[in-house]
Amino acid sequence: MVLDDDFQLAQKRVDELITLLDRYSHEYYVLDRPTIEDSEYDKLYQELLKLEETYPALVQQDSPTQRVGGTLLQGFEKVEHDLPMLSLDNAFDLEGLRAFDLRLRQLVGDNIEYECELKIDGLAVSLKYEEGRLVQAVTRGDGRIGENVTGNVKTIKSVPLKLKEAVTIEVRGEIYMPKASFVALNEDREEQGEANFANPRNAAAGTLRNLDPKVTASRNLSVFLYSMVQYGELEIDSQSEALSKMTELGLKTNPDRAVFQSIDEVWTYVEKYQEKRTTLPYEIDGIVIKVNQFEEQEQAGYTVKAPRWAIAYKFPAEESKTKLLAIEWSVGRTGVVTPTAIMNPVQLAGTTVQRASLHNVDLIKERDIRINDLVFVRKAGDIIPEVVRVDFDSRPESSIPFEIPTECPACQSELAHLEDEVALRCLNPKCPAQAKERLIHFVSRNAMNIDGLGEKIIIQLFEKQLVEDVSNLYELTLEQLLTLDKIAEKSAENLLKAIEASKSNSMERLLFGLGIKHVGAKAARLLSEKYETMDQLKQAPKEDIQAIDGIGEIIAESVVAFFDLEAARDLLEKLATHGVNLTYTGAKKRETMDESSVFYDKTVVITGKLEHFKRNDLKERLTLLGANVTGSISKKTDILIAGADAGSKLSKAKELDVPVWDEESLMKEIGQ
């Protein structure tokens, strides 16, 4: 069969786009040297996405569009490593390194080269490539058996889905969470009343083992590869050559590595990075020292647990001791009340620290932290100061346990400690501290994007009682703004113009700006695209909302609970009165669909084992034909597509008189 010209042109363009996007992604995520603007990358990505939606047969396994994360996993398959992933022996001082050097010289002679690398504090992983394509990713596990996390690893943008050469190899390395991603993640978790991750390593491990690949995709993990354990016919004689070859293949390796001729040179390298570690954008906990030549590695051999030719120098934990003077409580926009330790100033990782995170009340109780205690402080991920433990030996007998507050520090309402949360929460919807934080969020870039309206101005607006909630922004006058400090007439006029311009924002920006618990920018867009107006979303039942791909039960419950609040409904009425747009005006996939399709505007559910389709491929195909593919049967379901061994959904469809199609009927309808 001869392919039509349009398909051939599309196929050629898809290949070009994948090559371009892979190159730009490698420059951005691996080399940290982007050559195009983000907007240009997004434009090319959207072009590829549109071509793949129009021609599903052109979707390639290693397309950048396939990194978004697939369906929810039921668990992780256990995989036995072809070669065990051994641990390393440790050294903690120069004497330990000298003893390591002496042992090696006795085994392989004096002519040794040492290859030194930064020890990334993350989660060890093995990646297998067949003919240049990623086919498997497995965690270290117990060193012999790990877990298959291929679906999650494919969402990590610094892991190439396709190498620059069609080689079959196995490489190993460390998946980690950059410090910036760690800070953003914990800030979000604190805002939602969830427990913080203790450090980037725990965050990376929890993220990589999450059963929802979409969660992994959202948390911006990265990777450094540090060894090639199976390299086929590649001519490689040393660790330094292996790392260079891996870099050539498009794999991300750490550039801060070096080869030395003596253990004294190694120690200079160790001291250099012990001093520099806090300035790196990722967390390291030491230096790995390896014999460089593979022939000498084989000569040195292995113990039962570790290679004799490598050792990990572990940095000492950097902690400082100081006196805890007070605990300060602050209220976030969702009502979460967060404690902060106020301490005597202390030097920590090159900076003076006087405030440290205590995270939540459960942590204060668990660690028995009290006022006037001497406490040990460190920087989580070398970034956020936190109290890690108390010096109980120095505590006086007269010390009394810290009394957890029962009233909100801002509005004096009674605080709640909900069963499913680790945080205290103020439930007063009119709490002024929450209102201020909600307004700061409302005007932010990803929400209503009101240029010029920063935190300092918002604080003044509250202090002068010019605003109580976000609707009051649209009532501000030039005269009122001119009463604020450092606001001249031109600035005030520009601010009023920015506020006026925000009225025309599409619905998803407003929905995100309202600060509904668990509703991020992506969820706001999915909800807005589905329901199109705030009124329709307000009336939507929880079952329909949670059936949207990418939403789920937790977000659905939160949305329904928000619209059940009288205060929320009143706020939306006020915004509508002020002329704020409550309608989705963004681009909709439906605009490109064939309205004559039998699936157009129909709600479809898929169940059972399919013989002729992969479930995700079928779901995408039906969506492109105009269907709304959901996961649960209801009276609103128009068609159930049932494969073999269909269970309760088939029974429920028959009870509700929902039309049931088998695969043969489906294939006839879509012309396959």
Given the structure tokens 């010019």, which residue do they identify? Answer: 466
Say what the pLDDT of residue 297 is. Answer: 92
> In sequence order, what are the residues at sequence separation of 6 or more whose Cβ sits closer than 8 angstroms to the Cβ of residue 404?
361, 364, 365, 424
| CB distance 313 to 331 below 8 Å | no
Say what the pLDDT of residue 168 is. Answer: 92
* Residue 67 pLDDT greater than 90, yes or no: no
Say what the pLDDT of residue 217 is. Answer: 83
Split at pLDDT 50, 70, 90, the class of 428 is: confident
CA distance 433 to 410: 6
What is the DSSP secondary-structure string of 77-125? Answer: -EEE-SS-----EEE-SHHHHHHHHHHHHHHH-S---EEEEEEE-SEEE
Say what the pLDDT of residue 474 is. Answer: 94
* Residue 125 pLDDT greater than 90, yes or no: yes
SS3 621: helix
Q: What angle do CA 201, 265, 275 make, to 5 degrees?
A: 40
* Residue 120 pLDDT greater than 60, yes or no: yes
Choice between 60 and 596, residue whose per-residue pLDDT is larger = 60
Q: What angle do CA 30, 32, 33 make, to 5 degrees?
A: 120
Choice between 623 and 180, residue whose per-residue pLDDT is larger = 180
pTM higher than 0.85: no
Mode of pairing for the β-strands spanning 374-380 and 320-331: antiparallel
Query: Burial level of 194, CB count in 10 A (0-12/13-18/19+)?
Result: middle
CATH class of domain segment(s) 432-502: mainly alpha
Say what the pLDDT of residue 312 is. Answer: 94
Split at pLDDT 50, 70, 90, the class of 394 is: very high
Split at pLDDT 50, 70, 90, the class of 97 is: very high
Split at pLDDT 50, 70, 90, the class of 349 is: low
Q: Catalytic residues, which ones?
A: 119
Q: Is 518 left (phi over 0), alpha (psi -120 to 50) or beta?
A: left
Say what the pLDDT of residue 2 is. Answer: 43
Say what the pLDDT of residue 32 is. Answer: 65
Q: Which CATH number fits domain 320-405: 2.40.50.140, 3.80.10.10, 2.40.30.40, 1.10.10.60?
A: 2.40.50.140
Q: What angle do CA 569, 572, 573 make, to 5 degrees?
A: 85
* Residue 543 pLDDT greater than 50, yes or no: yes
Q: Where are the domains of the chain?
A: 5-67, 89-185+197-314, 320-405, 432-502, 507-577, 590-669
Mean pLDDT of 600-618: 81
Say what the pLDDT of residue 615 is. Answer: 75
CA distance 222 to 177: 6
Q: Kindly state the tokens that stand for 487.
A: 């606001």
Q: Kindly state the tokens that stand for 78.
A: 């256990």
Choice between 629 and 397, residue whose per-residue pLDDT is larger = 397
Split at pLDDT 50, 70, 90, the class of 382 is: low
Amino acid at 73: L
Mean pLDDT of 291-320: 88
CA 535 vs CA 19, 210, 305, 447, 511: distances in Å: 44, 35, 63, 19, 12
CA distance 339 to 390: 16
Note the maximum CA span of the chain: 89
CATH topology of domain 507-577: DNA polymerase; domain 1 (1.10.150)
Mean pLDDT of 550-579: 88
| CB distance 217 to 155 below 8 Å | yes
CATH topology of domain 5-67: Helix Hairpins (1.10.287)
Q: For the segment 190-210, what is each residue's pLDDT rounded down to a tens digit?
A: 777 777 787 888 888 888 888
> In sequence order, what are the residues at sequence separation of 6 or more whose Cβ sits closer than 8 angstroms to the Cβ of residue 337?
329, 330, 331, 405, 408, 409, 415, 423, 424, 425, 426
Say what the pLDDT of residue 119 is. Answer: 95
Domain 89-185+197-314 is found in CATH 3.40.50.410: no
pLDDT above 70 covers a percentage of the chain that reads: 94
* Residue 596 pLDDT greater than 80, yes or no: no
* Residue 664 pLDDT greater than 60, yes or no: yes
Q: Of 152, 160, 141, which is closest to residue 81 (Cα–Cα)?
A: 141
Comparing 29-33, 516-520, 611-615, which segment has the lowest mean pLDDT? Answer: 29-33
Q: Of 525, 484, 491, which is closest to residue 507 (Cα–Cα)?
A: 525
pLDDT above 90 covers a percentage of the chain that reads: 38
Average pLDDT, the chain: 86
Say what the pLDDT of residue 1 is. Answer: 38
CA distance 258 to 269: 8
Say what the pLDDT of residue 70 is. Answer: 52
- The CATH code belonging to domain 590-669 is 3.40.50.10190
Q: For the segment 222-248, what is each residue's pLDDT rounded down to a tens digit?
A: 999 999 987 767 888 999 999 999 999
Same fold: 432-502 with 507-577: yes
Say what the pLDDT of residue 420 is. Answer: 67
